[in-house]
Amino acid sequence: MLLQQGQARDERVDLNLAVTLAGTAGALNAAAFYSVGFFSANMTGNVSTLSDHLAIGQWQSALFYFSIVFAFIFGAGVSTLLINTGRRRQVHGIYAYSVLTEAVLLALLGCADLWLLEAWRTPVVVLGLAFLMGLQNAVVTRISDARVRTTHVSGMATDIGIELGIAFDILRGRDRETDAAHNRSKLRLHLYTIAAFLAGGVLGVVIYQAIAGWLFMVAAGLLFAISLTGISRSRRIAGRKGSSGFASDSAD
C-alpha cells in the first residue's frame, strides 16, 4: 500500500492505507488530547482558537496555537521535500521510507512523553505530534492523489455528504447509473476512514490510560512494520527489474 501511486492504486489498496494510518492517527490524536489537552491535527480548531486569542490580546497563547499550525505545515513541507528528492533520485519505495521516518520520530516523541519534565512535555508532545501528522498527511495525499486523508475528518465528512447526495440522485434517476459504482467506492473509502479514526481514538485513550507514553512506542512499532514491509517489497521489485535488464543486455 506504500508502493503504488495515483491511478495505479485500486480501492483495496486505498482502503488498507486509510484504515491503517487513520486508525493510528486517531489513536495518537485522542491520546494526546487526553494527556495534555490539545489537538495536534485539528487545524480548523487550532486556527479558530488562534483567532480568539489574537482578538482578546492573549499573545502568548496565540503564539502557541500558531506554533501548532506552523508545525503541521512544516511537517507536510518536509515530507514533500523528502518525497520529491526520492523521486528525482528514483528511490524505490520513497513513501515507505517517509513512513519509516515518521516511525523513528514518533518513537523519540514517546521517549519525550515518558521522561521529559512536565514543563517541557506538553509543548514537545503537541508540536512534535503536529509535525508528524502533517508529515503523514502529506505522504498519503501524494501517494493517493488526494483521495485519502488520515489525520483529520472534516473534509471526509463533507465528501460523505456529497456522495450521499449523489447516491440519492442516482436512486431517483436524476444522475447517471454508470456513476453508481464510483460513488459507492468513494463513500466506502470515506466511511471506513472515519470509522477507523474513531475506533483508533477510543482504543488510543484506553491504551494510554494503561501504559501512558508507551502508546507512542506501540504506534511507532506498527509504522515500522508497515514501512519495512514496503521497503522490502520495493527492493524485490527493483531487483527483478534489474535482473530482467541484465538478462536483456546479455542476450543482445
List pLDDT tens digits, range 60-83: 999 999 999 999 999 999 999 999
List pLDDT tens digits, range 205-249: 999 999 999 999 999 999 999 999 989 888 887 777 665 554 443
**Which residue, 48, 29, 47, is CA-closest to 39?**
29
List pLDDT tens digits, range 31-58: 999 999 998 988 999 999 999 999 999 9
Q: Is 178 exposed, middle or buried (0-12, 13-18, 19+ CB in 10 A)?
A: exposed
Mean pLDDT of 163-169: 86
